[in-house]
Amino acid sequence: MASMMRDFDWASTDLGPPGSWPQSLKTVVRIVLTSRYAMWMAWGPNLRFFCNDAYLPTVGIKRDWVLGSRSDKVWEEIWPDIGPRIERVLSTGEATWDEGLLLFLERLGFPEETYHTFSYSPLADDDGRISGMLCVVTEVTERVVGERRLATLSELAGRLASARAESEVLDAIKEGMDAADKDVPFSLLYLYDDQAALRLARGSGIESGHPASPAVILPGGSWPHDIPDSGSLMVNDLSAAVEAPLPRGFWDKSPTQAVILPIVVKGQEKPVGCLICGLNPYRKYDEGYSSFIELLAGQISASLAGARAFEEERRRGDALAEIDRAKTLFFSNVSHEFRTPLTLMLGPVQDALNDSSASALDPVQRQRLDVAQRNSLRLLKLVNTLLDFSRIEAGRANANYQPTDLSAFTAELASNFHSATEKAGLKLEIGCEPLPQRVSVDRDMWERSSSTSCRTPSNSLSKEASQFECARPTMVPSWSCMIPASAYHRTNCRDSLNVFIALKTRRGDRLRDPVLVLRWCRSSSSFTVVR
Final residue belonging to a domain, choices 139, 157, 189: 139
Q: Model-level pTM greater than 0.85?
A: no
Decide: 121 and 132 in contact? Cβ < 8 Å: no
Tell me what the mean pLDDT of segment 300-318 comes to: 90
214: CATH:
3.30.450.40
pLDDT tens across 418-442, in order?
Answer: 776 777 777 777 777 788 888 888 7
* 271 and 164 co-located in one domain: yes
Q: HEC states along 29-64? A: HHHHHHCCCCEEEEECCCCEEEECHHHHHHHHHHCC
Strands (E), 87-213: 98-105, 112-124, 130-139, 187-192, 198-204
Which has the minimum average pLDDT: 10-19, 73-82, 370-379?
A: 370-379
Instruction: Look at 131 and 487; give whichever has higher pLDDT.
Output: 131
Give me the CATH number covering residue 50.
Answer: 3.30.450.20
The answer to whether residues 74 and 61 touch, using CB atoms and an 8 Å cutoff, is: no
Q: How many domains are there within the chain?
A: 4
358 and 289 in a single domain? The answer is no
Residues 301 and 323 in one domain: no
Higher pLDDT, 475 or 127: 127
Residue of 447 and 4 predicted with greater confidence: 4
pLDDT of residue 220: 67
Model pLDDT, residue 189: 95
- Residue 393 confidence class, pLDDT cut points 50, 70, 90: low
Core vs surface per residue 327-347: b (16+ CB within 10 A) or e: ebeebbeebeebbeebeeebe
- Domain hosting 373: range is 318-394
* Least trusted range by pLDDT, from 195-204, 244-253, 363-372: 363-372
What's the whole-number mean pLDDT along residues 510-514? 46
The pLDDT value recorded for residue 33 is 95
Please tell me the distance from the alpha carbon of residue 430 to that of residue 457, in angstroms, as a whole number: 13
User: Residue 401 belongs to what H/E stretch?
Assistant: strand 401-404
pLDDT of residue 326: 81
Helix ranges restricted to H, 234-285: 238-241
Q: What pLDDT digit, counting tens, does each position of 23-58 carry?
A: 999 999 999 999 999 999 999 999 999 999 999 999
Mark whether 35 and 98 lie in a shared domain: yes
The closest of 510, 520, 455, 432 to 478, measured between CA atoms, is: 510
d(CA 339, CA 139): 88
Predicted confidence at residue 341, as pLDDT, reads 82
Is the pLDDT higher at 194 or at 103? 103
Residue-level pLDDT at 269 = 81
**CATH code of the domain in which 475 resides:** 3.30.565
Of 279, 298, 315, the domain-final residue: 315
Same domain, 178 and 278: yes
Is 361 within 8 Å of 352 (Cβ atoms)? yes
Query: What confidence tens digit (pLDDT) does each residue in 455-468 have?
Result: 444 444 444 444 44
> How confident is the prediction for the chain on average, in pLDDT?
81
CA-nearest of 184, 182, 218 to 200 is 218
487 plus 418 within the same structural domain: yes
Helix (H) or strand (E) holding 475: strand 475-482
Contact in structure between 503 and 476 (CB atoms under 8 Å): yes
CA distance 19 to 132: 18
Q: At which of 315, 338, 371 does a domain end?
A: 315
Q: Rounded to 5 degrees, what are φ and ψ at 472?
A: -135, 90
Share of the chain above pLDDT 90, in %: 45
In the predicted model, is pLDDT for residue 517 greater than 60?
no
* Residue 267 shares a structural domain with residue 409: no
Q: What is the pLDDT of residues 93-109, one digit of tens each?
A: 999 999 999 999 999 99
Residues 53 and 181 in one domain: no
DSSP 473: T
- Given a contact cutoff of 8 angstroms between Cβ atoms, the answer to whether 346 and 380 are in contact is yes
Answer for the pair 185, 251: CB distance below 8 angstroms, yes or no.
yes
pLDDT confidence tier of residue 144, bands split at 50, 70 and 90:
very high
How far is it, in rounded angstroms, from Cα 157 to Cα 300?
9
For the cut 70, the answer to whether the pLDDT of residue 262 exceeds it is yes
Torsion, Cα 115 116 117 120, to 10 degrees, reads: -140
Q: What is d(CA 426, CA 441) in angstroms, rounded to the nearest whole number?
A: 31
Q: Is the pLDDT of residue 502 over 60?
A: no
pLDDT of 518 over the 60 cut: no
What is the per-residue DSSP string for 126-148?
A: TTS-EEEEEEEEEE-HHHHHHHH
Instruction: Please check whether residue 187 is in contact with residue 293, taking contact to mean a CB–CB distance below 8 angstroms.
Output: no
Question: Same structural domain for residues 25 and 168?
Answer: no
Residues of the chain above pLDDT 70, percent: 81
- Sort 310 into a burial class: Cβ within 10 Å, 0-12 / 13-18 / 19+: middle
Expressed in angstroms, the distance from the first to the final Cα of the chain is: 89
- Other CB atoms closer than 10 Å to residue 14's CB: what's the count? 12
Confidence grade of residue 396 (pLDDT, cut at 50, 70, 90) = low
pLDDT tops 70 at residue 503:
no
- Please list, in sequence order, all residues whose beta carbon lies within 8 angstroms of the beta carbon of residue 363, skipping any fewer than 6 positions away: none
Q: What is the pLDDT of residue 73?
A: 96
What's the pLDDT score for residue 402? 86
pLDDT at 133 over 60: yes
The answer to whether 67 and 40 are in contact (CB under 8 A) is no
How many CA atoms lie less than 13 Å away from 171 in the CB half-sphere?
A: 7
Q: Give Cα separations from 498 to 446, 453, 494, 527 (angstroms).
A: 16, 13, 11, 9
Measuring CA to CA, which residue among 395, 397, 371 is closest to residue 384?
397
Average pLDDT over residues 472-495: 37
Per the model's pLDDT, the better-predicted residue between 147 and 243 turns out to be: 147
- The amino acid that residue 365 corresponds to is Q
State whether residue 247 is helix, strand or coil. coil
243 and 223 in a common domain:
yes
- Three-state SS for 509? coil
pLDDT(64) > 70: yes
Task: Give per-residue pLDDT as tens, 218-259.
Answer: 776 778 767 777 788 898 888 777 878 899 999 999 999 999
Pair (337, 421) in one structural domain: no
Kindly report which listed range (58-62, 367-371, 476-480) carries the lowest average pLDDT score.
Answer: 476-480
Residue 317 pLDDT > 80: yes
Domain with residue 343: its CATH number is: 1.10.287
Statement to judge: residues 13 and 65 lie in one domain: yes
Helix (H, G, I), strand (E, B) or coil at 165: coil
Check residue 84 and give its pLDDT: 96
Measure the CA–CA gap between 185 and 178, rounded to whole angstroms: 8
457 Rama sector, left if φ>0, alpha if ψ -120 to 50, beta otherwise: alpha
pLDDT tier at 361 (50, 70, 90 boundaries)?
confident
